[in-house]
């Protein structure tokens, strides 16, 4: 592996995740997949790996990874699954398990997750449970996965009852965030990942939020230096939180800013392509700041600034941005009560005192949330009287 000064010269940022004997590095830069053999090789007890990826990613990035592993004489198989959230299920976990056992991989072998959050969560969970746990490496290829899901060891599959309900904490041995892969990612997906990027500014880093107000467009449009800075800043923030609270007994919950609202919307829309996870989080973060302002813990000017930036980037900030869909506030609140973060039916929200100052609130009244949702939804309706004469 390159030394720190060599890495800096090559334009690669290294962010350590400090977890004792389970510590690992996140490397961030362009072209890392082409160096995967050299970077992964020293971590292998046996030069044998199973790559897990989806068909979209396989088309554009698998050949480079295969070549890099072959050059380092690492034997591999590739397991390609269909793209999309529905792949994060028991049936694909079973198929992946069969494939791993057929390929005679053992506890000293390595799983490599090449793809977005769906692949990282599925492959990571397989690595957590197969043979009572094998090593795995994350090679995230979406912005969302580079700034969030590949770091911190949360792995899971979905159940009919909800998302991520069967899972484990299992840390990767290495994260290779090859920022050049984002060039092939559809713009809508980059924007959805941007929502999880801005989250770090909103929850704990005003300076980063300020930087994003100026450079956010460069990040989404693919400027290499801007992407590397944004991914590295996000990863440093997440690494610090995970090092202090790996299994979410405290401050890790702050990473769920916007998610209580967002998950309720995703459930309502059946986790369809109609609303991507990052888009739901963008709207959720706007609502979380508006709820904070409504409850008097945050100035309205702060919540307006959040809405302005998220909206200027082209992400949804209100129900009017959801294509005329009608939602029932009481139903949304009932989804929130069943969220796995809810405690005995009590709503748990991440609120903020200001941009960069988020906190966990366990005492929010459902009536306050319903009032906010009702008022936000009212903005989507035509003004009274406007239908007169139709």
Q: Which is nearer to ligand NAD, 213 or 248 (CB)?
A: 248
- Catalytic site residue 61? no
Segment contacting ligand GLY (CB under 6 A): 147-155, 158-166, 262-270, 366-374?
147-155
Residues 234-253 that bind ligand GLY (CB under 6 A): 252
Cβ–Cβ < 8 Å for 83, 118: yes
CA 342 distance to own-chain centroid: 20
SS3 content of the chain, % helix, strand, coil (to 5): 55, 20, 30
Distance in angstroms (rounded) separating the CA atoms of residues 238 and 255 = 8
Instruction: Please identify which residue in 148, 266, 290, 302 interacts with ligand GLY, judged by CB under 6 A.
Output: 148
Q: Which is nearer to ligand NAD, 88 or 228 (CB)?
A: 88
Distance in angstroms (rounded) separating the CA atoms of residues 352 and 358 = 4
- Catalytic site residue 259? yes
CA dihedral in degrees (23, 26, 27, 29; nearest 10)?
-170
Distance in angstroms (rounded) separating the CA atoms of residues 96 and 215 = 40
Q: Which of 252, 305, 325, 371 is catalytic?
A: 252
Phi, psi dihedral angles at 154 (to 5 degrees): -80, 125
Angle at 155 between CA 362 and CA 338, to 5 degrees: 35
- Catalytic site residue 238? yes
At its nearest, how many Å lie between ligand NAD and the CB of residue 153?
8
Closest to 124 in 3D by CA, of 94, 98, 155, 103 = 155
Query: Choosing among ligand NAD, ligand GLY, none, which partner's interface includes residue 37 (Cβ < 5 to 8 Å by kind)?
Result: none
Q: Which of 13, 30, 66, 196 is catalytic?
A: 196
Query: Choosing among ligand NAD, ligand GLY, none, which partner's interface includes residue 119 (Cβ < 5 to 8 Å by kind)?
Result: ligand NAD
Does the footprint of ligand NAD cover residue 54 (CB under 6 A)? yes
- Catalytic site residue 4? no
- Give the position of tokens 């979905």: 158
Does the footprint of ligand GLY cover residue 163 (CB under 6 A)? no
Q: Which residues bind ligand GLY (CB under 6 A)?
A: 148, 152, 154, 252, 255
Q: Which residues bind ligand NAD (CB under 6 A)?
A: 54, 56-57, 60, 83-85, 88, 115-119, 121, 141-142, 144-145, 148-149, 152, 154, 163-164, 181, 184-185, 189, 192, 277
């Amino acid at each position: 592996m390159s030394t720190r000064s060599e890495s800096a010269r090559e334009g690669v940022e290294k962010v350590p995740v400090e977890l004792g004997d389970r510590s690992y590095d996140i490397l961030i830069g362009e072209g890392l997949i082409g160096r995967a053999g050299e970077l992964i090789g020293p971590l292998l007890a046996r030069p044998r790996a199973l790559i897990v990826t989806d068909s979209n990613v396989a088309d554009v990035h698998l050949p480079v990874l295969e070549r890099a592993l072959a050059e380092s004489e690492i034997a591999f198989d590739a397991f390609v699954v269909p793209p999309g959230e529905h792949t994060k299920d028991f049936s694909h976990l079973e198929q992946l398990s069969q494939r791993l056992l057929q390929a005679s991989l053992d506890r000293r072998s390595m799983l490599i997750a090449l793809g977005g959050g769906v692949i990282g969560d599925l492959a990571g969970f397989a690595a957590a449970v197969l043979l009572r746990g094998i090593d795995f490496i994350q090679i995230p290829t979406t912005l969302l996965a580079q700034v969030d899901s590949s770091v911190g060891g949360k792995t899971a599959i979905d159940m009919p009852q909800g998302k991520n309900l069967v899972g484990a904490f299992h840390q990767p041995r290495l994260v290779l965030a090859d920022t050049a892969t984002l060039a092939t990612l559809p713009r809508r997906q980059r924007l959805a990942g941007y929502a999880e990027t801005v989250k770090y500014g909103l929850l704990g880093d005003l300076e980063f939020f300020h930087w994003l107000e100026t450079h956010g467009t460069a990040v989404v449009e693919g400027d290499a230096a801007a992407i590397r800075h944004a991914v590295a800043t996000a990863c440093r923030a997440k690494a610090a939180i995970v090092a202090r609270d790996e299994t979410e007994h405290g401050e890790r919950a702050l990473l769920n800013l916007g998610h209580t609202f967002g998950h309720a919307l995703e459930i309502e829309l059946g986790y369809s392509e109609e609303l991507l996870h990052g888009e739901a989080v963008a709207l959720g973060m706007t609502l979380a700041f508006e709820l904070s302002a409504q409850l008097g813990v945050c100035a309205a000017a702060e919540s307006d600034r959040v809405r302005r930036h998220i909206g200027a980037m082209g992400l949804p900030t209100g129900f009017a941005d959801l294509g005329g869909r009608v939602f029932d506030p009481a139903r949304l609140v009932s989804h929130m009560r069943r969220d796995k973060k809810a405690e005995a039916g009590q709503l748990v929200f991440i609120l903020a005192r200001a941009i960069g100052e988020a906190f966990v609130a366990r005492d929010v009244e459902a009536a306050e949330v319903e009032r906010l949702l009702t008022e936000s939804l009212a903005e989507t309706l035509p003004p009274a009287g406007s239908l007169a004469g139709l």
